[in-house]
Every structure is written in C-alpha cells, then in structure tokens.
A and B are shown apart, each in its own frame.
Chain A
Amino acid sequence: MSYGDYGGRYVPETLIPALDELAVGWTAAQADPGFAAELDRLGREYGGRPTPLTLAERFAPGKRLFLKREDLLHTGAHKLNNALGQVVLAQRLGKTRIIAETGAGQHGVATATVCARFGLECVVYMGAEDMRRQRPNVERMGLLGAEVRPVEFGTKTLKEATSEAIRDWITNVETTHYLIGSCVGPEPYPEIVRELQAVIGREARAQVLEAEGRLPDAAIACVGGGSNAIGMFAGFLDDAAVRLYGVEAAGAASLGSGRTGVLHGARSSMLADEDGQIADAHSISAGLDYPGVGPEHAYLRDTGRVEYRAATDEDALAAFRRLAETEGIIPALEPAHALARAAELDGDVVVVCLSGRGDKDLDEALAHL
C-alpha cells in the first residue's frame, strides 16, 4: 500500500527481517479464506459484531445522525477488531509473546483480552501519567493476566509507551509479536491495522443504506493515531459523494498544525519543531494525546479526500455530557471530539464512529465538568 511519500520503515536494522516476515505472513493470511472466516467468527461470537447503528435524534435534532456503536463491542472499544486480527496473525507466525503500547488503556485492555483468550504472555507499556488518569483500565489489564509496565520518562504518555514497546520488540523480536494499536508504525503495520478496522466502515455503510436507502452525506471520526477513523473511512473512500471528516484534539493536531517528520518507524505528519524534535501533545483524552498520526491520514489530508478539524477539551467535554443526557450513552472522551464536530456538519445523514464507551473517563471528565 502506498501513501505518497508517507509511511516507510524508519526502524533499526534489527527489526527489518521481522517486518519482512510480518509482511509475508500478512499477505498469506489475506490470501487464505480461512483467516477471514476465523476473524469473522471471532468477531461475531466473541466480539459481538456486527455492532448496531443508533439514530441519535435527541442529540442532533433535525438531522439523521447515526452512531456506529463500537462502544458496544466486547471490551468497550473498536480496539478489539485489531487485537483479534493481529493475535490470530501472530499465532500463524509462531509468536508466543505479545507486547503492546496503550494510551487510554483501551488497546491495552483489548490486547490483554485476546491474550487471555488465546493463552499468550502479554506485556503492555503504558505511560505513568496515563496509568493515573485511566486507572480502571490498568486494573482490568491486571485482572486479565497482563503485565502493565509503567513508562516513567518523557511525557509519560502514549508516545513514550510506544517507544518502549518498540525497544522491547528490538530486544525480543524472535519470540515476540508487537501488537501495535493504531494505524501507525513501520510498514506493514498501518495497512494491517486499517484492514482489520475496515469492518467498521463496511458495516456502517451497509447499515446506513439499510436504514436510509442511501449513503450518508458525511462520515466523521476522531483521530489520534487514527485507527477507528481509517476503519470508518475505508468503507466510504470510494464513494466520492460521502464527505469524510477526521477530528483531532486541538492540543494534539498532528495533521492540522503538524509538519512532516519521522516517528515510531514512519514518515508522517506530526507535532515537531523545526529541527525534527518531536513536540509534546496535550489532550484531556489519553487516546488522542499523541504527537503523530498514521501515514495514510497524512496522505488523505494532502489529497483532500478527508478534511481534518479540531475539537478542544471543552468541546469534547460538552459533547460527552450532551450525549449522556440526550441519548443515555456515555461516550469515551476520544469520540466525544468527533461528536463535538458532528452536529455542525452540513448534510442530513451523518454517521459518527462512536469508537468507545466512557466508563474509563468518568473520574477525568467529572473532575472537569
């Protein structure tokens, strides 16, 4: 897959053979109908797919605003789609140990969950600051048998957790699969994560057609690394009439106010200074608090196919509260950014990726509301 000049494999030599092996294994898995069938079965029987599409009439009066309910997927977020797919892939590659990074903890929980389900050793790297603000997810990972390793340096958030996971992978590459949580990292990861999350867009497209008899005018999703968004967009990229919107946290707008740089193995847009040093991101939402973004998003921004907007912490908190009060759904703070921009979009029929539920965010949100 090509993303213009974005993407690539900017990693130490030690990892190149493992990335080659992963690419070969991924190509073989995609060509094997058994792989797709197993993912489909796991998605239905274990994950709870397909997730519903819910019309949010009270949240957005006068519009046909639909929520794609990834919050109802097992573990409470879209991250399970990717974790299930990659753990099956890792088993095909003969790996016995799984490592992951996590920001909000949703990807860590999804990874710990699939490792428990398949009996694999699991280590999750998490910034100490994120462990503080996403305590319930730390406890869930422990209960699921994963070891959560705090990362105590730098920003103590997702950026450093990702770096430490990559360092672990460099050290243990022969036994270990790095189950990256977003459409970032060296090739072939952005493509793998996109394809495993594309189920969101495929289902949403069919469900909107079923409900409305036509395609939506717009689809919108939040973007941190960008995996739920790329999964949603994948269903509509070929439908030129469907406008696509990504929403970044205003303090972590890698696409809106970033520049081209190299981080975590890929060339993409990111928050960096003029010397290429990566800058700190700031967001109330741990899942969006990341200075980089998947290379395909940078490409889609440049081509104009997707428009990227920003929402502030305050915007997200207001949407968080409003969805709870009007629809009885408590969203995660991450998709609350997409909700904040969704109601103001032109067009009658809009589909929003509600990528996760907000239980994990109650302490943080209530402290600010």
Chain B
Amino acid sequence: MTKALVVYLMAGTETPELAAAAVAGGADLVEIGFPFSDPLADGPVIRRAAERALAAGMRTRACLDCLAATRARVDVPLVPMTYSSLLEAYGWERFADDVRSAGATSMIVADLPAGDRPELERIQLVAPTSTDERLALAAGQTDGWLYLVTLTGTTGARSELSPALAGLVERARKTTGVPLYAGFGISTPDHARAAAELVDGVVVGSRALEVAEEGPAALEDYVRSLREALDR
C-alpha cells in the first residue's frame, strides 16, 4: 500500500505556490502552520518561522485567507496546525467552522491533548510517553488518522529516526485500526523510508520549511526525493 507523505508549511504569502510544488513533488497532504508566539511543541526551525510569519502579519484572519488560497491551488487534504491560544481568542467552534469553510479537511491543535474538548474534531497526537489508556482515548477521538510523535521532544530534524517509534507503533496497532502517521524528527529520505516500514504515513516539517526558503523548485525536488524513498 502506498504510504502517505505529509508536508508542513508555515502560513504565508508564498504558501499556495509552495503547497502546489509540494503536491507536484508527491505530497499527499499539506499541513499549514498558523503561527503562535509561544509554540511549546516546536523546536528552533518552526519557532523562527512562526516569528517571521507573525512579523509579516500572518494573524488568524490572514491564515484563513492563506488556507483558502492554497485550497484553490491544490486538491490534496489541507490541515491547519496551531495552538490553543488562537482558538481561545477566535472562538473554539467558530475556528473549527471557519477553517473547514476555508477548505481544511481537519486540524491539529498541538497543545490540546486528547480528552480535552472532545467535541472539537481534530487529528490527535500520541507520544512515546502516552499510556495505553491514552493511546486508546486519542485513537477513539482522532479525525481520520493518528499522529505519532516519534520521540520525546520538540519538532526538528534529528540525525536518526527515533528508536522509540517501533514500540509506539506496536502499542498503537494493538489499540486501533486507524491509519498511523509518524512525525517529529523525520527529515531525510532514509528516515522516511525507515518510518514507512512501520507506519502508514510520514510527516516532514522543519526540514521542509528550511528547503522551502530556497523556493518552490527546491521544495518540489526535496518532496520528490521523499516520495521516491517511500515508493521504493
């Protein structure tokens, strides 16, 4: 079965074009970061990208416009990823409604763990530290697929694929039949290939943002290298 490839981009004026390049390179889903001033789950690359996006005026309204503009360019599912403070300010349900109206398939709220606000449909995250009980809770509440955080840590490229992923996948498979996508620390085709041996999809974030700074052509080449590794 083909493995899903998820690419994370920060919301910005270039995002629709970058998303189109990522899809041309073989991305099956694009996450769009709505920047927050204090992103606890993120390492330096995404944190700095969020700072730049905020400095460029990418507040919630502009992010929704960016999402809609990206929707007009690509056909793959789009998933905003953000933090609770934006939803608190915008209105939790209103935010969920408006991202869907702008073309989102679902959303990810990095600091809203499973069990909290269950009425808010979203993709849930689990981590190597999650208990079996929490894995079951998150799998039961997740919207479509379950996001496996491969490591205990923040987002950002690592030299090797986390050894904690295999155990997490094993526990998750015992609990649920939903598709499992792995993210955090995956940056190279080799990582993607190794992760895909275990899971149904991989998410690439920090490295994709770095490559995206070199422009759409570079991003497309990078995503294609991941796609080829997954399809090998």
Contact = CB atoms under 8 A, between A and B. Distances in A.
B111 A276 contact: no
A272 B113 contact: no
Given A262-B111, A274-B89, A13 B138 contact: yes
DSSP majority for the B interface?
A: loop
Contacts of A263: 38, 85
A365 B84 CA distance: 38
A276 B129 contact: no
Given A12-B40, A13-B138, A261-B85, A18 B154 contact: no
Contacts, number: 117
Contact of B152 (A153, A159, A174): A174
B154 A171 contact: yes
B215 interface: no
Given A12-B111, A170-B154, A262-B85, A163 B126 contact: no
A11 interface: yes
B60 interface: yes
B59 interface: yes
B8 interface: no
Interface string A133-168: 000000000000000000001100001000100110
A163 B38 contact: yes
B59 A171 contact: no
B127 interface: yes
Nearest to B44: A153
Contact of B126 (A13, A172, A173, A262): A13
Interface residues of B, number: 41
Contact of A276 (B61, B89, B126): B89
B49 interface: no
Contacts of A259: 89
Contacts of A174: 129, 152
A30 interface: no
Most A-side CB within 10 Å, residue of B54, B83, B90: B83
A153 B47 contact: yes
Contact of B40 (A8, A153, A170, A275): A170
Interface string B41-55: 101000110010010
Interface in B105-131: 110-114, 116, 124-131
Contacts of A159: 38
Given A13-B126, A13-B130, A14-B149, A276 B154 contact: no
A17 interface: yes
Contact of B114 (A13, A262, A267): A13
A267 B152 contact: no
A8 B85 CA distance: 13
A218 B129 CA distance: 47
A9 interface: yes
23 contacts: A8-B116, A11-B113, A12-B40, A12-B110, A12-B113, A12-B149, A13-B114, A13-B127, A13-B134, A14-B127, A14-B129, A16-B130, A170-B41, A171-B152, A171-B153, A261-B85, A265-B40, A276-B85, A276-B88, A277-B54, A277-B59, A278-B38, A278-B85
Closest 6 CB pairs of A and B: A276-B89, A276-B85, A14-B127, A171-B153, A262-B85, A262-B84
